[in-house]
Chain A
Amino acid sequence: MYTQAMDTMAREGGGKLERVLSADEQALQQRFDARIDAGDFIEAKDWMPDNYRKTLLRQISQHAHSEIVGMLPEGNWISRAPTLKRKAILLAKVQDEGGHGLYLYAAAETLGTSRDQMIDALHSGKAKYSSIFNYPTLSWADIGTIGWLVDGAAIMNQVPICRCSFAPYARAMIRICREESFHQRQGYDSLLVMMQKGTPEQKAMVQDAVNRWWWPCLMMFGPPDDQSPNSAQGMRWGIKRVSNDTLRQKFVDATVQQAGVLGVTLPDPELKWNEEREHWDFGAIDWDEFWRVVGGEGPCNRERLEKRVKAWEDGEWVREAALAHANKQAMKEAA
């Protein structure tokens, strides 16, 4: 889903042909291609084609933005968590997401940009983040559902990126994946308790949350393969390893079974086991909704960005003060 960058680039007219290379650069390009084909890693200071660098920078920074913005929908329920254990778990999870954003900003910085530049791109609306976080968390069950479905989808997307050709991104992903599985398990656990031991009102809360989050989660994997022209280049470069549709199908297959154990109904009347394909068939996704939300017209786009901009602007004096103090200390030591 973070390869949403490549999908949206198509609409924005990005991903054009590379400029003409000099003879030296052609040799470097050949070596680069050979390393990619051999499954080797590219490190930050290695030569790389301009578009490889640009695509990665976009994808990694938007992945980072997603983690940071993603702290908000779940952070919304920290003060209202129903038990001290759940409060601690949610704090730890949202904290992890901040940490993931940090690892990813760090990986992106190795490509020649700065944290401030990336944050500026997010706040000005130039950079995007995963559109799933533009949906509201309306009940406590949303928190469990996000863990189960949103993190579940994220894990499915992230595991292949652990083998991304760009090593700083791959290493960040390995770190993230190690932490991520707790995220899905805690969410599922929270829902399981409510479905198995909860009151009828709690069960209704869970079903309502699932009804609202299911389709947006399927959209997380991006447009269908035949509408994702940049995916091929991503695959060629070892940035994207598995296609949108393949991942989406994998997610549906895994989740249907999990939903069964929970005792919730997935809100798709066309969900049916296909004996021939050996996969679950599912209904049509409303791609208009996807593009609307990506384009800024989702339920929470404005609020999410406002909150991030406010936190950054409110924190300006703090960052300035810390730097001023550090400078004063440095001058004292130099004297």
Chain B
Amino acid sequence: MQTSVQLPTDPAVQYLLRIGDTCLILGQRLGEWCGHAPIIEEDIALTNVALDLIGQARGVLTLAGQRCAPALDEDQLAFLRDERDYRNPTIAELPRGDFAFTVLRNAMLSTWLKLLWERLRDSGDAELSGIAGKALKEARYHQQHAADWVVRLGDGTEESRRRIEAAMAQLWPYVAELFDDDAVEAAAEASGLGPPASSLREPWLAEMAEILGEVHLPMPKQGNFRSTGKQGVHSEHMGYILAEMQFLQRAYPGGAW
């Protein structure tokens, strides 16, 4: 049984993992739709989004791994960490749900990622800036695809309306975490690595309001629930994702793939 890799406490690594793990885990969830989407054309479209996200994950995880000592590669990070060392916000790991849940989560996270990549083009880390330039184009497409679907479902049939409203109620409590600041975010801002989480809140709300406004889908009231994925304390869903994702690497230590 392959044992886990250990991570440094370097806040820059934590910051990068928050981004890379979001792409990784969301990509993992979207990949679950392959062969099961409502129509083949959409199968292909969702898989494209998943592929883009996996590509982004590879770039960011590689970067994070280079800052570890000893250095770790993208696969060691993706497949051999303990659950508590994954730093994606909890919203990314929630089960894919129905199609309404998937497109609404995609709209939320692609908007968040788009705003993040926009700012990361100015990162003091040249490689991260390069990754951001490419990822931004992908995020724009993802946002357009997801937003179009939110509108179709929000103003489609009674059933689709009911489902998108239900998705909103389920997802909204997990949004707050995206914009929480802490020492990791502060260090990233101070070092010029990237923007602090809170700086994205207003632009995100504005863009989401535009998308949701098209179909008069109100944003629920902010409650007191706080998810804690960014701190490495995940929901019960994370364990199952990792069990599947990590299985081969754990079961065949030293394997070549």
Q: So, do A and B actually touch in the complex, CB under 8 Å? A: yes
CB-CB contacts below 8 Å: A67-87 with B: 68, 71-72, 75, 78-87
Interface residues as binary, B160-174 with A (CB distance below 8 Å gives 1, 0 otherwise): 100100000000000
Question: Hey, which chain B residues are within 8 Å of A196, CB to CB?
Answer: 256
Tell me which of A28-36, A217-225, A266-274, A316-324 binds B: A316-324
Question: Hey, which chain A residues are within 8 Å of B58, CB to CB?
Answer: 84-85, 88
Task: Judge whether A39 is part of the interface by a CB distance below 8 angstroms.
Answer: no
Task: Judge whether A265 is part of the interface by a CB distance below 8 angstroms.
Answer: no
Task: Judge whether B132 is part of the interface by a CB distance below 8 angstroms.
Answer: no
Query: In whole angstroms, how far apart are the Cα atoms of A99 and B44 in the complex?
Result: 7
Question: Hey, which chain A residues are within 8 Å of B34, CB to CB?
Answer: 71, 75, 78, 91, 94-95, 98
Q: How many residues of A contact B (CB 8 A)?
A: 51
Task: Judge whether B99 is part of the interface by a CB distance below 8 angstroms.
Answer: yes
Query: In whole angstroms, how far apart are the Cα atoms of A81 and B74 in the complex?
Result: 14
Question: Hey, which chain A residues are within 8 Å of B248, CB to CB?
Answer: 80-82, 140
Query: In whole angstroms, how far apart are the Cα atoms of A92 and B248 in the complex?
Result: 20
Chain A residue nearest to B162 (CB atoms) is A317
Question: Hey, which chain A residues are within 8 Å of B159, CB to CB?
Answer: 317, 320-321
Question: Hey, which chain A residues are within 8 Å of B47, CB to CB?
Answer: 91-92, 94-95, 98
Chain A-chain B contacts (Cβ-Cβ < 8 Å), number:
150
Task: Judge whether B155 is part of the interface by a CB distance below 8 angstroms.
Answer: yes
Dominant secondary structure of chain A at its interface with chain B? helix
CB-CB contacts below 8 Å: A164-217 with B: 190, 193-194, 196-199, 201-202
Given contacts A79-B31, A199-B254, A317-B163, contact A322 B156 (CB under 8 A): yes
B73 CB to nearest A CB, Å = 9
Query: In whole angstroms, how far apart are the Cα atoms of A202 and B41 in the complex?
Result: 36
Taking a contact as CB atoms closer than 8 A, the residue among B24, B28, B51, B257 that contacts A193 in the complex is B257
Task: Judge whether B249 is part of the interface by a CB distance below 8 angstroms.
Answer: yes
Task: Judge whether A328 is part of the interface by a CB distance below 8 angstroms.
Answer: yes
Taking a contact as CB atoms closer than 8 A, the residue among A87, A99, A101, A311 that contacts B36 in the complex is A311
Question: Hey, which chain A residues are within 8 Å of B55, CB to CB?
Answer: 88
Task: Judge whether B157 is part of the interface by a CB distance below 8 angstroms.
Answer: yes
Query: In whole angstroms, how far apart are the Cα atoms of A320 and B100 in the complex?
Result: 13
Query: In whole angstroms, how far apart are the Cα atoms of A190 and B38 in the complex?
Result: 31
Taking a contact as CB atoms closer than 8 A, the residue among B31, B48, B156 that contacts A325 in the complex is B156
Query: In whole angstroms, how far apart are the Cα atoms of A88 and B61 in the complex?
Result: 15
A317/B157 in contact, CB under 8 A = yes
Chain A residue nearest to B24 (CB atoms) is A84
Given contacts A101-B40, A315-B99, contact A197 B256 (CB under 8 A): yes
B256/A193 in contact, CB under 8 A = yes
Task: Judge whether A292 is part of the interface by a CB distance below 8 angstroms.
Answer: no
Given contacts A314-B98, A317-B160, contact A98 B44 (CB under 8 A): yes
Task: Judge whether A54 is part of the interface by a CB distance below 8 angstroms.
Answer: no
| Most chain B CB inside 10 Å of its own CB: which residue of A78, A85, A92, A190 | A78
Query: In whole angstroms, how far apart are the Cα atoms of A138 and B58 in the complex?
Result: 27
Task: Judge whether B17 is part of the interface by a CB distance below 8 angstroms.
Answer: no
A199/B252 in contact, CB under 8 A = yes
Task: Judge whether B237 is part of the interface by a CB distance below 8 angstroms.
Answer: no
Nearest 3 A-B pairs (CB), nearest first? A315-B38, A321-B156, A321-B160
22 contacts between A and B (CB under 8 A): A68-B40, A75-B35, A82-B255, A83-B78, A84-B58, A84-B75, A88-B54, A91-B54, A92-B47, A94-B34, A98-B34, A98-B47, A201-B252, A311-B37, A314-B38, A315-B37, A316-B38, A320-B157, A320-B159, A321-B159, A321-B160, A328-B155
Chain A residues with a Cβ under 8 A of chain B = 68, 71-72, 75, 78-88, 91-92, 94-95, 98-99, 101-102, 105, 140, 190, 193-194, 196-199, 201-202, 307, 310-312, 314-322, 324-326, 328
Chain B residues with a Cβ under 8 A of chain A = 24, 28, 31-32, 34-44, 47-48, 50-51, 54-55, 57-58, 61, 74-75, 78-79, 98-99, 151-153, 155-157, 159-160, 163, 244-245, 247-249, 252-257
